[in-house]
Amino acid sequence: LKEESVRRLTTALPLLLLLVSGKPLPAQQQPLPDFSKVQIQTRKVAGHIYMLVGAGGNIAVSAGNDGLLMVDTEYPPMFDKIEAALKELSDKPLRFVIDTHWHLDHASGNENFARAGAIVVAQENVRRILASGTMRDGVNYPPFPKDDLPAVTYNDRATIYWNGEPVKLIHYPNAHTDGDTVVYFANSQVLDTGDNYRTDGFPLVDQDNGGSVKGIIAALDNIMETYPPATKVIPGHGPEPMTVADIKSFANMLKDCRARVEKGIAAGKTVAQLKQEKVLSGYEKYSGRVTSDHFTEMLYRELTEKK
Ligand SMILES: [Zn+2]
């Protein structure tokens, strides 16, 4: 089972190396982490809600009398370690898995949990993409096996009543992808933003599958209007729980970067010129997995692409 998973995850790599040889690898196609070296760290966020930090996207866990509910599943090779971390929180079974979006660092771990009996829930576009496979930045992502697909989908809003509170699933369209779910644990007052908010750098927007910086900004603005500043936040990536108040500087950065590139385009500049004149200068601390140049390219594409 596990070999199968790793093979599926790495299918895209040889083709990719062929395609881009001579050029640096685009950020999202960097080699997979060395899973054997990764330890899961469990952080208590509020009440019975926990955050697991491992390899890939962060995981939220609700542990209580009804059993376990988990948001996102990392990669298949992390299954045993995640399961051990869950056992530390509760000896009750995992009943629900929610996918915040289709990306493999968040959803490819579905298979083990689904086969162990959990019901996977996702926005309907996540199931569509996982069922048919997709292309992203020139890389082919094959379909998930039928048994690993979300069993329950929803369109705009859904609620799971679990461990004494409404767990609200809110779809934000065309944000990080076209199938994003933000999860709100209503009594615990904890929000899992998926990759719409991350604390480790510029966002990696899935432009081939309906994602946009504009949509992420709209989602974050709505989150800041809807939830009190002290609301705890589990970011898609980043080592610590944050708050809604922390989102502001990230959202402001996105708005400013987008406005700068838009201004450059209006002045007739090419993407090469914008990169050369370092249009995003001052935001170097966000440059990492997605570099300033890569983020400039993303914004340029978004602002010039015909819809
Ligand atoms: Zn993602």
Per-residue pLDDT of the chain (307 residues; tens, 9 = 90+): 455 555 555 554 434 433 333 334 444 455 788 999 999 999 999 999 999 999 999 999 999 999 999 999 999 999 999 999 999 999 999 999 999 999 999 999 999 999 999 999 999 999 999 999 999 999 999 999 988 899 999 999 999 999 999 999 999 999 999 999 999 999 999 999 999 999 999 999 999 999 999 999 999 999 999 999 999 999 999 999 999 999 999 999 999 999 999 999 999 999 999 999 999 999 999 999 999 999 999 999 999 997 6
Q: What's the gap in Å between 16 CA and the centre of ligand 1?
A: 19
Q: What's the gap in Å between 259 CA and the centre of ligand 1?
A: 23
The environment of the single-atom ion ligand 1, i.e. residues with CB closer than 5 A, is 103, 195
Q: What's the gap in Å between 176 CA and the centre of ligand 1?
A: 7
Q: What's the gap in Å between 290 CA and the centre of ligand 1?
A: 12
Q: What's the gap in Å between 107 CA and the centre of ligand 1?
A: 9
Q: What's the gap in Å between 235 CA and the centre of ligand 1?
A: 11
Q: What's the gap in Å between 194 CA and the centre of ligand 1?
A: 7
Contact 99, 121 (CB under 8 A): yes
Considering the entire predicted model, what is its pTM?
Answer: 0.91
DSSP letter (8 states) at residue 281: T
The Cβ of residue 212 has, within 10 Å, a number of other Cβ atoms equal to 25
Nearest Cα neighbor of 162 from 20, 16, 47, 43 is 47
144, burial (CB in 10 Å: exposed 0-12, middle 13-18, buried 19+) = buried
Contact 216, 176 (CB under 8 A): yes
